[in-house]
Amino acid sequence: MARYLAHQLTQMVIAIFGISVIVFVITRVIGDPTSVLLPLDTPLEQREEFRRQMGFDRPILVQYVDFLGEAIRGDFGTSFRVKKPALSLVLERIPATLLLTASATVLAILIAIPMGILSAYKRHSLVDNLATVFVVAGQAMPIYWLGLMLIILFGVQLKWLPPSGYGEFGLDRLKHLVLPTVVLGVFLAPVAERLVRSGMLDALTQDYVRTARAKGLSERVVLVRHALRNAIIPVITVLGLQFGQLLGGAVITETVFAWPGIGQLTVDSIRNADFPVTQAAVITIAVMISVVNTLVDVIVGIIDPRIRF
Amino acid sequence: MATAEPRERVQAQVSLAELPVWLARRRTLRDWLRAAWKLRLSVLGGLVLLLLLVVAVAAPLLTPYTPSEGRIVDRLQPPVGLGGSWKHPLGTDGVGRDYATRLMYGARVALAVGVLSTAVATAIGVCLGILAGFYGGKVDWLISTLVNIMMTFPFILLALAVIAVLGPSFTNVVLVLGIGSWPIYARVVRVEVSRIKALEFVAAARVIGLTDWRIIGRHIVPNLVNAIIVIATVQIARLIITEAFLSYLGLGVQPPTPSWGYMLFESQAFMFNPAEWWLPMLPGLAIFVTTLAINLVGDGLRDVLDPYQRSSL
């Protein structure tokens, strides 16, 4: 286990390091920070002077090592727009993103488990076909459009729910949470449903299911206690490894609903060329993904004693 | 009682080279109809796609209007059925441009970006996948690590960042989407190549003294084509969705070129008018129908070309 953990941590460090290189290249090498920081009509000499002051004229490798050293200490510089440390701007957005991704995951699982069990149990039945329609439509769905349609239907026409924003803590927050959760849930549910279905299909052919039936256990107990329990492990693993994709969906959902999470902040910072915030946000997201992926591996290792490292 | 034998609707696995034979074997009309019925959803998707292609190519012939000019006095005419006239069957937008015309021209951008960026991604992904799978060792480690990093990180963020920095344009969007989405090909190709490499016919080819390039070109690549086609079809749909999101943020193909994503962005201004709900609905519906049709075709191709890959995607 210790060796396995060490391996995972090494992978994690390599991944975060890789992302830091990519984001540095995008913001510093392809992009020119001075073009954002200085007015458009700044004369060339002043521009050069400014580049020297900021250290942008040094060799790119030196700049990167500097950037990395400061990033490790949590110093990504100050936001160009709001005069605050970039990292603290990013960190204060994390709870909103976690709230949204967690509630969407719960919704997706609540859809996927019953649907997956039923469509595996009654193959090629009406339920199974409906589930397939849901999966195919869900995977083709541009979720930002789904979000706009839900806003128009429930926020503008029916006025049942607030169209966007974060709301006040409490019931108001929950009302604001409903539509984004549905959108992100629809993004995640098709993948989860297919995983549950194929896991159940596999489990239902196993000997222990036949034994359980032969013992005279009810179908319900056989399905949930015996088959689902084994089918669920790959679902957890894959969903955990899909956390990055889920965050990608959250970026889109947060943008559409003005949900003040880390995704919306990143998109805003990119559109405003606020490079310190972009760098801090992208690296924070990479750290979040790596931590979740590693946790999932460890948890699965604990749940399933067959997996030994 | 549930029966759960591993069976899928279409069993035949056909390589691309055998496809004409597979098709030709269906001699009678009845055979053809039976095959079409088995793949009915894919056939439907294919027909929709064909229709879209015709509309995209023939747009100037199908409409008396241009996508970028409108009469401001005609602005916000509702579609037929919501009180509009046949002069503008799908209504007009906020500056009086014919909505149907803009949707038709928008299909050009969507299909072009989808296909071209998928081509870029396929080219990069297949080459790197072959390198990693064929040579192994350090090359493999480097490429695999890069693939893992890119596949776990939400690529939409990096795409946004690069386009924001480079400036939005058709070429940049195609390149960024292509460069951002190659890892899936590399991952699949790498596994396939290292599997095929161990087979006897490759060893035989080596014994008779063929060069690496010849082995790759003549013996390995032909065995990859099916898997690549299946992935690429699904990827076209995903990249169309992504391109529209970039345009929706104003970072995609730039106006006056009409794109569905940008139409969605423009229509947001009217989102809170209870009467104009159809403005944001139509471009999104166009995206949805297109990606749905492509995915249905993709499912059919997977059934015919590569049934074993069903669960691995």
Q: Do B162 and A266 touch (CB under 8 A)?
A: no
Segment among A109-113, B163-167, B271-275 with least mean pLDDT: B271-275
Name the helix (H) or strand (E) containing A37.
Answer: helix A33-37
Torsion of CA A199, A205, A206, A209, to 10 degrees: 100
Of B5, B250, B280, the CB nearest to A148: B280
Residue type, A112: A
Residues A37 and A50 sit within 8 Å (Cβ to Cβ): yes
Q: For chain A, how far is it from start to end, CA to CA, in angstroms?
A: 6
Angle between helices B155-166 and B170-180 (to 10 degrees): 150
Mean pLDDT (whole number) for B5-18: 51
pLDDT at A260 over 90: yes
> Nearest to residue A248, comparing CAs of A200, A285, A206, A209?
A285
Q: Is the dihedral of CA A272, A274, A275, A277 positive or negative?
A: negative
Residues B159 and B242 sit within 8 Å (Cβ to Cβ): yes
Token pair of A145 as six digits? 């459009």
Inter-CA distances, B209 with A266, A270, B217, B221, Å? 54, 54, 15, 18
The residue among B103, B165, B285 with the most chain A CBs within 10 A of its CB, best to mutate, is B165
Contacts with A151 from chain B: Cβ below 8 Å: 271
Each residue's pLDDT tens digit, A85-102: 999 999 999 999 999 999
Q: Tally C-beta pairs within 8 A across A and B.
A: 141
ipTM exceeds 0.95, yes or no: no
pLDDT at B273 over 90: no
CA angle B291, B99, B255 (to 5 degrees): 80
Q: Do B161 and A282 touch (CB under 8 A)?
A: yes
Q: Do B287 and A145 touch (CB under 8 A)?
A: yes
Each residue's pLDDT tens digit, A151-191: 999 988 888 988 888 888 888 899 999 999 999 999 999 98
Each residue's pLDDT tens digit, B190-217: 998 988 888 888 888 888 888 888 888 8
Residues B240 and B291 sit within 8 Å (Cβ to Cβ): yes
Contacts with B106 from chain A: Cβ below 8 Å: none
N residues, chain B: 313
Inter-CA distances, B118 with B130, B178, B228, B234, Å? 18, 6, 11, 10
B143 touches chain A (CB under 8 A): no
Mean pLDDT of chain A: 86
% residues pLDDT > 90 (chain B): 35
Q: Do A15 and B292 touch (CB under 8 A)?
A: no
Burial class (CB in 10 A: 0-12, 13-18, 19+), A68: middle
CA angle A179, B288, A260 (to 5 degrees): 30
Q: Is the dihedral of CA A9, A15, A19, A22 positive or negative?
A: positive
Q: Do A285 and B158 touch (CB under 8 A)?
A: no
Q: Do A271 and B164 touch (CB under 8 A)?
A: yes
Residue type, A87: L
Band of the pLDDT at B22, cuts 50, 70, 90? Answer: low
Residues B183 and B151 sit within 8 Å (Cβ to Cβ): yes
Token pair of A284 as six digits? 């924070």
Token pair of B252 as six digits? 């995609």
Contacts with B166 from chain A: Cβ below 8 Å: 30
pLDDT at B10 over 60: no
Cα distance between residue A231 and residue B281, in whole Å: 39
Q: What is the DSSP letter of A227?
A: I
Beta bridge partners of A85: A78
Contacts with A22 from chain B: Cβ below 8 Å: 149, 158
Each residue's pLDDT tens digit, B227-244: 899 899 989 999 999 999
Inter-CA distances, A134 with A102, A121, A183, B96, Å? 22, 17, 14, 37
Token pair of A280 as six digits? 């801090």
The residue among B1, B151, B152, B166 with the most chain A CBs within 10 A of its CB, best to mutate, is B152
Q: For chain B, how far is it from start to end, CA to CA, in angstroms?
A: 29
pLDDT at B313 over 60: no
Each residue's pLDDT tens digit, B91-108: 888 788 888 899 999 999
User: Which of A4-13, A106-115, A126-135, B66-75 reaches the highest mean pLDDT?
Assistant: A106-115
Q: Which residues of B94-103 are buried (b: 16+ CB within 10 A; e: fewer)?
A: eebbbbbbbb
Using the structure block, give the residue that is written with the tokens 């297919």. A194
What is the least distance, in Å, from the CA of B42 to any CA of chain A? 12
% residues pLDDT > 90 (chain A): 32
Token pair of A136 as six digits? 């195919």
